[in-house]
Amino acid sequence: MHGARPTIGDVAHAAGVSKGTVSLAYSGKRPVAEETRRRIFAAAETLRWTASSSAQALATSRTSTIGLVIARRPEIIATDTFFPRFIAGCEAVLAEAGMGLMLNVVADEDAETAAYERFAAGRVDGVILLDVEQGDRRPNLVRELGLTAVMLSAEPPHENDPVGTPVVYTEDAAAVGELVELLIEAGHSRIAHVSGPLRYVHAVARRDAFAAAMTRHGLLPDRIVEGDFTAASGRDATAALLDGDDRPTAIVYANDVMAIAGLSYARSSGLRIPEDLSVTGFDDSELSAHLSPGLTSVSTGADVRGAVAARTLLAALGGDARRSVLVDGTVVVRRGSIAPPSRP
């Protein structure tokens, strides 16, 4: 039954045409008589033929696949709901375009470099760069390797960003500002922030937005602690924040998991949520929506970002490279985790 897959030659033979014509009938790169194309399609169907990707790749030097390397520790990948949603979003547009997605999760920088090198050895046409850092080395790395790339960001591109790599970005700053706004309106002034790892541009963007919003209202942004997106760090940061006697009445977390762990810790140490402590998350995970009370969070449209990133990369591969594209899906989702402070 399996074994000997049919080749384009078999189809050509069965349809009584040349291999070139079969190819053309499928690619549509040049007209084929209607009657001929029907015969070809019929033959292909009965033989159950589909073109071999490797042969196509070799002939066209296009692999029809794009690559994604994820360079976070496994606990974090598992904990952060961003990746799977982002990937699902990518897939939706890739599948439609007949493209594949090659994934690589790596533990350190050497493995990361190796991954891009493998990608460049004819495995993928382009890559999406996630978790961009200040002065990130990857745009240059992948350019040298001859890979087309797009990168994700949480803010518009700077002038000194490497040119040539389109940036797909959200504007997280406005949403974080709105969160702080909401808290201040409710009567809070001692508001803390638990950030993500500050080597990431997106974590810095959110922290800076937090600080800016506080300052704008004459408040000192002096309660900031750096987390790493894990539940463990959320709990520890919360413990540290709640330890002093001038403790915050509200905490803005850089993701939902840290917020949930923090909220749970606060509760177990006797605080009521939201009466004694208001909290907000970021990323709007499914769990947050179904907690009681629900967690006020920021929906960043991870799947939409995946879709836009994929579309932008496909466009770049097609020669249509734009400088940057804004994904306009960042919106604050209000739920029950904010209340006026009990002891303002």
Partner DNA sequence: CTGAAAGCGCTTACAG
Q: Segment near DNA (CB under 7 A), from 18-26, 74-82, 83-91, 184-192?
A: 18-26
With CB under 5 to 8 Å by kind, the binding choice for 7 among a copy of itself, DNA, none is: DNA
Residue 9 near DNA by CB under 7 A: yes
Find the shortest distance in angstroms from Cβ 43 to DNA: 12
Q: How far apart are CA 46 and CA 48, in angstroms?
A: 5
Cβ distance to a copy of itself smaller for residue 210 or 229 = 229
Q: In this chain, which of 2, 3, 23, 291 binds DNA, going by CB under 7 A? A: 23
Residue 42 near DNA by CB under 7 A: no
Residue 20 near DNA by CB under 7 A: yes
Q: In this chain, which of 3, 28, 48, 61 binds DNA, going by CB under 7 A? A: 61
Residue 9 near a copy of itself by CB under 8 A: no
Contact present, 155 and 205 (Cβ < 8 Å)? yes
Binding flags for a copy of itself, 303-322, as an x/- string (CB under 8 A): x-------------------
Residue 52 near DNA by CB under 7 A: yes
Residue-level length of the chain: 344
Q: In this chain, which of 1, 3, 14, 27 binds DNA, going by CB under 7 A? A: 27
User: By rule CB under 8 A, what count of residues binds a copy of itself?
Assistant: 72
Q: How far apart are CA 100 and CA 64, in angstroms?
A: 6
Contact residues for DNA, defined by CB under 7 A: 5-9, 16-24, 26-27, 29-33, 35-36, 49, 51-52, 55-56, 58-61
